[in-house]
Structure 1
Amino acid sequence: MNQQVSMVTLGVGDLAESRRFYSEGLGWTPLLDLDEIVFYQVGMGLALALFPLSDLAADTGTPATPGTPFTLAHNVGSPAEVDAAVTRAREAGASVLKEPQRAAFGGYHAYFADPDGHRWEVCHNPGWSVAEDGTVKLTAVDPES
């Protein structure tokens, strides 16, 4: 099996509110926007879908509830970009869970939750890079530097 994730689907309580949050609030451009689902290109070969919770429950045959037991992450190029992303998310209606601050791993990060409680980390990690082919490279960073 090919080791990759090609789509992350978030179950949302109100598709119109989530569409507004991601499109207008965060400034993301939909890849495909239908009445019942919205797709965003979020990386090389990776899409994020917003899908109503009731439809997700029906599709999977199991109950679906708001929020997630995991965190999605958006890595940016500087601490200032973390600050700007959190400001934009807050203005769009996000609940800031952790204000921007230095992280134990030597970077700078913050957490917010979208209108459905999906948790996002916005992070500047000086040891994070992405090659032209999309391969992620992680190197240890001295937290004291």
Structure 2
Amino acid sequence: MILMLFGAIFTGAGVFLLYKALTETAMLWFMALIFTPIGVLIFAYGLFWLGRGLTASVAPGKVWMQRSIFGIRLYQRQAPCSNPAQLQIKETLASTTAEGERTEYFCLQANVDGKTLVLAEGITGRDAAEALKQQVLEALLQ
């Protein structure tokens, strides 16, 4: 939502500069041509993140995942998975607050036959990611 807000602000500033450029100096044309595309790209990226979806399932010996955007299925993958070494935790994002508190976000992936299947994303903290990995391993190895 924040990306969409910043994108809307940049796009609005670019359109306003474009409007003012019609009656004033050429420098406003230059600014409008910078602000508008940047704003549209930020807005589109925020919209993409807002609409992204991930569905995953784990059964003994196999994993399945489906990626969608606004409920429309983009692709799905499934693979046999029986080796604990195939599951990996990967850090995807880290943020720091004004007070200096650092938050790390992780995803759980299954790497099978050269394919990477994301089973969970946006996991806050390494401990939570490790606990989820352990639960998935228990479900896989039943």
- Alignment TM class, shorter chain as reference: under 0.3
Instruction: Please tell me whether Structure 1 or Structure 2 has the larger radius of gyration of its CA atoms.
Output: 2
- TM-score under structure 1 length normalisation: 0.25
**Taking CA–CA contacts closer than 8 Å with sequence separation of 6 or more, which of the two structures ends up with the larger relative contact order?**
1
- TM-score under structure 2 length normalisation: 0.25
